Chain A
């Protein structure tokens, strides 16, 4: 029984980590077709902003986290306007040489990778130049949950709860709000959406802002438990990319399911073999197998099954 609880908590921990790492990226990748290799650095912005809000401005932690996410969202919008959609450079270009200077990076997988890779270099090194090799961290709130001879940090469990909340909120926004409908319309068929009066430019901008804000939220949430260094984004990257692609085209459901599956594999193997290394390798191999045998990711597979069944009826 006690070991079952261990496994459950470790699973929740893993699930939260994968889901929160992937959330922002899933939205940006799934909706805009942009691979953001600077995703880790957006998390960095959120973490640093939150930490500074507490240590320098003295804000209470929850407020600081909101601040951190907002700062990252705004930063994301700035990036979107300049680099991703090219709005600002093209605006300048129109007024100076009379033509657009750059093409938007939407649906350009490889080019968006190079651009965001360059961006990540700039961001990490700038963080290092501006703030040094590390900054002071904030402490982890709450205590712990004790059961038998074991205990688990309450905060880590709270994170699991927050990750579920994030998924629910994202689901609500995308399915129940007008904005969400506009986003899905743009995702499905940009031209038709435009023809129907959807401001696709604005939609993309806001979506990128939301995706960045979520990445910032991840940074804010993990700020109390991480070492505040310019390279802190690296540890989220692999889980994020793997989870997003394994999840498949459905942003919310895909992230949730891949978080669940990958988290379960990682926690179980770690628990059974008592080796975190094998847990990690197992997670990666599971991802490879999932991509091989479930073409289109988990939700892509579900879609195919569902449509095949519908056709059969």
Chain B
């Protein structure tokens, strides 16, 4: 173990000094590329080391386990197909148990001892933030695949899940058109929920709709009687729900038994935690999910014979569901493969450069992602222009497609102007600073 330690420390001392001075001034300058110049002989080995840190126990196990499984599926498929540039992938996976402290320690271990070439880690944004100092310090190529609030502009981080603006932006306009302009927002009372609620206000303004009420519920709450009453009092045309976590699942059960049947648009329910499979019908009736993927998405590459869903259950017959994030883990692994083959090397700065040149899936070169159509990784913002769906659950919890279209990542590219090909950064932007309506 000490042998590995010495070579890593030489690498880090060279780059670390430059990086540290850059970080301390928060200038984001200091070309990280120089630090990577010190050749690390370990990673030019015959295998590609992919680090996967996903929750298989703890609070996020329900949504984290499919991510792990999907990554393993992608890795196995690529290996069977000849690997990346002829090199087999060696997965390095541990269970962080939904514990941010463990995430930090395991990330350190993966980077300094295992020396992974790329890292997939974390479900919640808090996890991403917890490991960000370590990622930034080591300039580790990192894929964050969960749907999240958006706004991360970071040189080595690729947040390839759909952002709140993309998700809400797919379902909200449809619901305004279908049902009317009065919206009531209920959201989990923490960063993601609050920022999503801000986006609802921005989108409402863009679609001539109005938010007639907003309510934030702590993550630990599981009694929704007052929330239901407040919704009934406000009489909205539809509700936007960004409830998160096991305790909030009870809302759907309780609203059904209270007889509340207002349509509900959501970015968080069904696609991640497959409530429509777990709760008794008709709890999820008339819930409209605005997401890039659900297991039921009707594309050839997904539900067709031998498609993604078939292959997933072939490998994991006892799996419960293929959730939204699983698909993102899956296709981003393929994007990584494309980038490495394009760069011709495993060196992370070069791979990042290749990713920034724009990687697409669903072209003649690269197979279609299960969410369908051609999706592009936007090099400047490190986000993906997703193929967004609006999917509705009926009284028996069957999922039907309502509408779908491509939605690019707009916030960082158009509003903020984050361009990581020009300038290194490590920031997260929020809509409040850019939109009056989000106040």
Do A and B contact each other directly (Cβ–Cβ < 8 Å)?
Answer: yes
Chain A interface (Cβ within 8 Å of chain B)? 6, 9-10, 13-14, 17, 125, 128, 132-140, 142-144, 146, 149-156, 224-232, 234-235, 238, 267, 270-271, 274-277, 279-280
A sample of 9 more A-B contacts (CB under 8 A), given A235-B222, A279-B226, is A6-B226, A134-B278, A134-B320, A136-B278, A136-B280, A139-B281, A227-B278, A234-B220, A280-B221
Contact partners of B235 in chain A: CB under 8 A: 149
CB atoms of A13 and B257 under 8 A apart: no
- Report Cα–Cα, A231/B250, bound state, in Å: 14
Which residues of B (203-221) have their CB < 8 Å from a CB of A?
Answer: 215-218, 220-221
CA–CA, A72 and B210, complex, Å: 50
What B residues does A270 contact at CB under 8 A? Answer: 226
Contact call A276/B320, Cβ cutoff below 8 A:
no
- Knowing A137-B280, A229-B62, A277-B189 touch, does A155 contact B229 (C-beta < 8 A)? no
B215 touches A225 (CB 8 A): no
**CB <8 Å contact, A154 and B257:** yes
Q: A153 to B258, Cβ gap below 8 A?
A: yes
Residue B59, interface by CB 8 Å = yes
List the A side residues contacting B254 at CB < 8 Å. 140, 153, 156, 225
Cβ of B259 within 8 Å of any chain A Cβ, yes or no, is yes
Chain A residues lying within 8 Å of B62, measured Cβ to Cβ, are: 133-134, 229
Q: A150-B233, A227-B247, A227-B250 are in contact. Are A144 and B257 (CB under 8 A)?
A: yes
Q: Within B174-228, which residues are at the interface with A (CB < 8 Å)?
A: 189, 215-218, 220-223, 225-228
Q: Is B256 in the interface zone, CB < 8 Å from A? A: yes
A-B CB contact pairs (8 Å), 6 listed: A10-B225, A137-B280, A154-B257, A227-B275, A276-B216, A277-B189
Q: Which residues of B contact A234 (CB under 8 A)?
A: 220
Interface residues of B in 301-350 (CB under 8 A from A): 318, 320
A225–B253 touching, CB < 8 Å: yes
- Assess whether B221 is in contact with A276, with CB atoms less than 8 Å apart: yes
| The residue from A143, A151, A277 contacting B260, defined by CB atoms under 8 A apart | A151
Q: Which residue of B lies closest to A148 (CB)?
A: B232
Is B27 in contact with chain A by the CB < 8 A criterion?
no
Which interface residue of A136, A146, A228, A231 has the most chain B CB atoms within 10 A? A231
Contact of A274 with B230 in the complex, beta carbons under 8 Å: yes
Q: Is the Cβ of B233 less than 8 Å from the Cβ of A149?
A: yes
Residues of the B chain whose Cβ atoms lie less than 8 Å from the Cβ of A143: 257, 259
Choose one: B216, B225, B246, B280; the contact of A229 (CB below 8 Å).
Answer: B246
The residue among A17, A128, A138 with the most chain B CB atoms within 10 A of its own CB is A128
B46 → chain A closest CB, angstroms: 36
Cβ of B81 to closest chain A Cβ, rounded Å:
30
**Chain A proximity of B251: nearest CB distance (Å):** 10
CB pair A150 B229 closer than 8 Å: yes
Asked if B295 lies at the interface with its beta carbon under 8 angstroms from chain A, I say: no
| 10 smallest beta-carbon distances between A and B, as pairs | A139-B280, A227-B249, A153-B257, A140-B257, A144-B259, A153-B258, A133-B62, A13-B225, A227-B246, A6-B229
Task: Decide yes or no: A235 and B253 within 8 Å by CB, A144-B259, A150-B229 being known contacts.
Answer: no
Q: How far is the CA of A267 from the CA of B226 in the complex (A)?
A: 8
User: Looking at the complex, which one of B226, B247, B273 makes contact with A235 (CB distance below 8 Å)?
Assistant: B247
- Number of residues on chain B facing chain A (CB within 8 A): 45
CA A280 to CA B218, docked complex, whole Å = 8
- Please give me the residue from chain A that is nearest to B230 by CB atom: A274
Contacts of A279 in B (CB 8 A): 226
Select A156's contact among B225, B275, B283, beta carbons within 8 Å. B225
Binary per-residue interface labels of chain B (23-63) against chain A in the complex, 1 for a CB within 8 Å, 0 otherwise: 00000000000000000000000000000000001110110
Contacts A144-B257, A154-B257, A227-B250 given; does A14 touch B223 at CB 8 Å? yes
Query: By the criterion CB–CB under 8 Å, are A17 and B223 in contact?
Result: yes
A106 nearest CB across to chain B (Å): 31
Q: Could you tell me the distance between the alpha carbons of A282 and B225 in the complex, rounded to whole angstroms?
A: 18
B285 within 8 A of A: no
Q: Which residues of A contact B222 (CB under 8 A)?
A: 226, 235
Chain A residues within 8 Å of B277, by CB: 136
Contact check, A151 vs B217: say whether CB atoms are below 8 A apart: no
Is B61's CB under 8 angstroms from A277's CB? no
Among B61, B216, B273, the residue within 8 A (CB) of A275 is B216
Report whether A133 and B259 are in contact in the complex, using a CB–CB cutoff of 8 Å: no
Q: Counting CB contacts under 8 A, is B92 at the interface?
A: no
Query: Inside 8 A of A280's CB, which chain B residues have their CB?
Result: 218, 220-221
CB atoms of A142 and B257 under 8 A apart: yes
Chain A residue numbers with a CB within 8 Å of B232 are 149-151
Q: In the assembly, what is the distance between CA of A155 and CA of B257, in Å?
A: 8
Determine how close the nearest CB of chain A comes to the CB of B285; give it in whole angstroms.
12
Shortest distance between the CB of A33 and any CB in chain B (Å) = 28
- Is there an interface contact between B250 and A226, defined as CB atoms closer than 8 Å? yes
Cβ B230 vs Cβ A128 within 8 A? no
User: Is B419 among interface residues, defined by CB-CB distance under 8 A?
Assistant: no
Are the C-beta atoms of B57 and A128 separated by less than 8 Å? yes
Chain A CB within 8 A of B65 CB: yes
Q: Is B20 an interface residue (CB 8 A)?
A: no
Residues of A within 8 A of B228 (CB): 151-152
Pick the contact of A228: B215, B216, B227, B278 (CB < 8 A): B278
Partner of A225, one of B58, B221, B250, B281: B250
Question: Is there a chain A Cβ closer than 8 Å to B279's Cβ?
Answer: yes
- Minimum Cβ distance to chain B for residue A223 (Å): 11
In the complex where A136-B278, A232-B246 touch, is A277 in contact with B226 (Cβ < 8 A)? no
Q: What chain A residues lie within 8 Å of B220 (beta carbons)? A: 234-235, 238, 280
The reply to whether A137 and B253 contact each other, CB–CB distance below 8 Å, is: yes
Q: Mark B385-398, 1 if CB is under 8 A from A, else 0.
A: 00000000000000
Q: Nearest residue in A to B249 (C-beta to C-beta)?
A: A227
Question: Which of chain B's residues have a CB closer than 8 A to the CB of A17?
Answer: 223
Question: Chain B 258-270, CB within 8 Å of chain A: the 1/0 string?
Answer: 1110000000000
Cα distance A275–B233 when bound, in Å?
Answer: 15
Chain B residues within 8 Å of A136, by CB:
277-278, 280
- A275's nearest neighbour on chain B, judged by CB, is B216
Q: How far is the CB of A286 from chain B (nearest CB, A)?
A: 16
User: Cα distance A10–B277 when bound, in Å?
Assistant: 29
Q: How far is the CA of A238 from the CA of B222 in the complex (A)?
A: 13
- A-chain residues with CB within 8 Å of residue B217 when the two chains form the complex: 276-277
In the bound complex, residues from chain B placing their C-beta under 8 Å from that of A13 are 223, 225
